[in-house]
Amino acid sequence: MGETHAANNHFDLVIVGTGSGNSILDERFAGQRVAIVEKGVFGGTCLNVGCIPTKMFVHTADLAATPASAARLGVDETLDGVRWPEIRDRIFGRIDPIASGGRDYRINHPDNAHVTVFEGLASFTGHKTLSISPNDGGPATEITADQFVLAAGSRAVLPDVDGLADVDYHTSDTIMRLDELPNRMIILGSGFIAAEFAHVFSSFGVDVTLIARSGALLRGEDAAVSERFTEVATRRWDVRLNRNTVRAESDSRTVRLHLEGPDGPETVTGEVLLVAVGRTPNGDLLDVTKTDVSVVDGGYVGVDEYQRTNVPGIWALGDVSSPYELKHVANHEQRTVQHNLLNPDDLVAADHRFVPHAVFTAPQIAAVGLTEREAVRRGVRYVTATQDYADIAYGWAMEDNTGFVKLLADPDTGLLLGAHVIGPQAPTVIQPLIQAMSFDLDAKRMARGQYWIHPAMPEVVENALLKLDL
Ligand SMILES: Cc1cc2nc3c(=O)[nH]c(=O)nc-3n(C[C@H](O)[C@H](O)[C@H](O)COP(=O)(O)OP(=O)(O)OC[C@H]3O[C@@H](n4cnc5c(N)ncnc54)[C@H](O)[C@@H]3O)c2cc1C
Ligand SMILES: NC(=O)c1ccc[n+]([C@@H]2O[C@H](COP(=O)([O-])OP(=O)(O)OC[C@H]3O[C@@H](n4cnc5c(N)ncnc54)[C@H](O)[C@@H]3O)[C@@H](O)[C@H]2O)c1
């Protein structure tokens, strides 16, 4: 039976963080004395406040947004209403029991007789020595171990804006649990989280004002995608580009942000403010330098290709050490660490060659590999081709007029260097391109070495491949 207090404070293995870290343990670790430490809700970011609830809201938002686009196709629909409390409670009614079930399994199930769960904030106090301050406020416990896995994730950052700390702001951790939908929402930021929540809340009828520091949204994407998304977003939301946020203030009903922009000072108001300006790794909360673990640029715990830190026996994975900050990367690194813990004489390296990502906004966006900007910066030889959804049969069916697939390929080998998709089902449409890159399938063979179902959406990929001058 899992215990909440250890009799002996030395462990074979200590895992900090129950996001991807929790998935390391399986029956192969039964012979080891293991501790797992969690300061928050069991299951981590993706399950509780990240990928999973956001995409459940996004799917619901896609349905709510249908009437707005159906009229173009001759179908007149109206949105009768959005039952926010019901949507919120349906989503968290599925998620919260998974988190509590996971906790209960680790603490109480006989499978975990060798596992001690510590619920508290872990921080290193010395070499391979971890102090845990319990969430219930009791005295700290000090533990040591032969091996540690740092899987402590990341947290939302707050920008340095005068007055912001005194304003009732939300981050992605709290915005999905609002009591009621506001009439107006300000979103500060222009990355993944801003783009996804702007789609969710505007589809539910909230007037969204989006504030970006630079001249484009989703600036990390290929410039063609970022520009197209910015155009579409500007038609849908009140998008303020090139704005510096100088001060925040609020009264009991509204939040005001004072901005400086190309036309001078201006003020935006809303009942709710969502701050989404990036995340920072949690290595500082863990005080990793006290155990001699090195931290690299951006505050990430430094790891090698085997997910080893510079200290023998201390491993790291996921957002605490990975600038990708993506769940599929955290999962892959978790599998790598799991293998390496179990097979110290046969280590495997993590594969970060072709890490894809998707932004579940509207239109959807997905990408893998080099942007054109990166190809130029690196001096890589490339050819590029773009295929609009509008010019394939399924694009006609949808009357899509904003989506496209853009590819970059190596003119010498024909191998793909990058793929960028904006448009319906982009995260699904891109998958064969990720597969081709991962398995060294060149663009010509990919295009003509298989059937493409007609007239399905992936024909947009087939046509983009055929357009490459190879
Ligand atoms: C709103 C949002 C949407 C997202 N959507 C997607 C998506 O669609 N697709 C995608 O791929 N990625 C998405 N992500 C990113 C994804 O959630 C993260 O990359 C992933 O969850 C990281 O997993 P992890 O195991 O590294 O960390 P986490 O899951 O964050 O786990 C770390 C755990 O460690 C605990 N912890 C931290 N410090 C300590 C300490 N000192 N002591 C004890 N415990 C500690 C934390 O409480 C936490 O539970 C999203 C993120 C957010 C915020
Ligand atoms: N679909 C997904 O996979 C998904 C969804 C959500 C989040 N995530 C992960 O979570 C991470 C964090 O998301 P995010 O949207 O917070 O970060 P982000 O890095 O995607 O975007 C942050 C944005 O905030 C802007 N910014 C920074 N400081 C600012 C300031 N002072 N004022 C105004 N704007 C400022 C940046 O220019 C940038 O555009 C992402 O990088 C991503 O890895 C992934």
CA distance readout (Å), 306 to 1, 147, 207, 216, 333: 32, 14, 47, 37, 9
Lookup: tokens for 173: 């951790």
Residue of the CA atom closest to atom 12 of ligand 2: 278
Asked whether residue 30 is assigned to any structural domain, the reply reads yes
Is there a contact between 360 and 54 (Cβ–Cβ < 8 Å)? yes
| Ligand 1 pocket check for 326: Cβ under 6 Å | yes
| Ligand 1 pocket check for 121: Cβ under 6 Å | yes
- Report the residue count for the chain: 470
| Ligand 1 pocket check for 193: Cβ under 6 Å | yes
Same domain, 325 and 188: no
Amino acid at 426: A
Of 5, 127, 352, 454, catalytic: 454
Q: What does the pLDDT read at residue 6?
A: 45
Distance, CA of 116 to CA of 442 (rounded, Å) = 50
Distance, CA of 292 to CA of 126 (rounded, Å) = 8
Kind and range of the H or E run holding 342: helix 327-342
Residues facing residue 247 across a β-bridge: 162, 258
Asked whether residue 424 is assigned to any structural domain, the reply reads yes
User: Of 277, 298, 328, which marks where a domain is finished?
Assistant: 277
Atom of ligand 1 lying closest to residue 132 CA: 42
Orientation angle between helical segments 84-108 and 51-70, nearest 10 degrees: 160
CA distance readout (Å), 11 to 35, 117, 147, 413: 7, 12, 8, 51
Same domain, 260 and 228: yes
| Ligand 1 pocket check for 327: Cβ under 6 Å | yes
pLDDT in tens, 279-325: 999 999 999 999 999 999 999 999 999 999 999 999 999 999 999 99
Q: Is residue 199 flagged as an active site residue?
A: no
Asked whether residue 367 is assigned to any structural domain, the reply reads yes
Residue of the CA atom closest to atom 52 of ligand 1: 50
Query: Which of 193, 225, 240 has most ligand 2 atoms within 8 Å of its beta carbon, as the pocket-test mutant?
Result: 193
Q: What does the pLDDT read at residue 425?
A: 98
Asked whether residue 285 is assigned to any structural domain, the reply reads yes
Residue 400 CB neighbours (<10 A): 21
Q: What does the pLDDT read at residue 447?
A: 98
Q: What does the pLDDT read at residue 3?
A: 42
Write the CB contacts of 294 (distance below 8 Å, at least 6 apart in sequence): 301, 302, 309, 310
| Ligand 1 pocket check for 330: Cβ under 6 Å | yes
Among the bound ligands, the one closest to the CA of 51: 1
Is there a contact between 117 and 103 (Cβ–Cβ < 8 Å)? yes
Same domain, 250 and 378: no
What is the dihedral sign for C-alpha 435, 439, 440, 446? Answer: negative
User: Of 240, 261, 277, which marks where a domain is finished?
Assistant: 277
Q: Rg of the Cα trace of the chain?
A: 24
Kind and range of the H or E run holding 357: strand 357-359
CA distance readout (Å), 99 to 29, 96, 317: 22, 5, 20
- Which parts of the chain sit beneath pLDDT 70? 1-7
Structural domains counted in the chain: 3
Lookup: tokens for 177: 């649990």
Same domain, 41 and 116: yes
Q: What does the pLDDT read at residue 1?
A: 36
Same domain, 99 and 173: no
User: Which CATH number covers residue 179?
Assistant: 3.50.50.60
Kind and range of the H or E run holding 16: strand 10-16
Same domain, 133 and 247: no
Asked whether residue 405 is assigned to any structural domain, the reply reads yes
Same domain, 148 and 292: yes
268: region left, alpha or beta (phi > 0 left; psi from -120 to 50 alpha): beta
Q: What is the pTM of this model?
A: 0.97
Q: Give, rounded to a whole angstrom, the gap between the first and last alpha carbons of the chain.
A: 62
- CA nearest neighbour of 468 among 412, 421, 430: 412
Judged by DSSP in three states, 187 sits in: strand
Q: What does the pLDDT read at residue 8?
A: 86
Lookup: tokens for 246: 């100088």
Same domain, 390 and 424: yes
Q: What does the pLDDT read at residue 2?
A: 40
Q: Which residues are annotated as a binding site for NAD(+)?
A: 189-196, 278
Among the bound ligands, the one closest to the CA of 54: 1
Distance, CA of 197 to CA of 353 (rounded, Å) = 29
For the question of an ipTM over 0.95, the answer is yes
Q: What does the pLDDT read at residue 313?
A: 98
Same domain, 383 and 246: no
**226 Cα: distance to centroid of ligand 1 (angstroms):** 25
Asked whether residue 348 is assigned to any structural domain, the reply reads no
Is there a contact between 151 and 318 (Cβ–Cβ < 8 Å)? yes
Atom of ligand 1 lying closest to residue 320 CA: 26
Q: What does the pLDDT read at residue 400?
A: 96
Residue 273 CB neighbours (<10 A): 27
Asked whether residue 271 is assigned to any structural domain, the reply reads yes
Most distant CA pair in the chain: distance in Å? 71
Kind and range of the H or E run holding 13: strand 10-16
Write the CB contacts of 209 (distance below 8 Å, at least 6 apart in sequence): 184, 185, 186, 187, 237, 238, 239, 240, 268, 270
pLDDT in tens, 146-203: 999 999 999 999 999 999 999 999 999 999 999 999 999 999 999 999 999 999 999 9
Is there a contact between 193 and 50 (Cβ–Cβ < 8 Å)? no
Distance, CA of 349 to CA of 347 (rounded, Å) = 7
User: Which CATH number covers residue 373?
Assistant: 3.30.390.30
Same domain, 452 and 308: no
What does residue 207 show for φ and ψ, rounded to 5 degrees?
-75, 120
Q: Which domain holds residue 147?
A: 10-46+89-155+280-342
Count CA atoms closer than 13 A to 466's CA, side-chain side. 13
**350 Cα: distance to centroid of ligand 2 (angstroms):** 25
Asked whether residue 76 is assigned to any structural domain, the reply reads no
Atom of ligand 1 lying closest to residue 328 CA: 11
Q: What does the pLDDT read at residue 96?
A: 98
Lookup: tokens for 51: 């990928």
Q: Which residues are annotated as a binding site for FAD?
A: 55, 319
**152 Cα: distance to centroid of ligand 2 (angstroms):** 19
Same domain, 177 and 307: no
Is there a contact between 88 and 61 (Cβ–Cβ < 8 Å)? no
Same domain, 200 and 144: no
User: Of 277, 294, 317, which marks where a domain is finished?
Assistant: 277
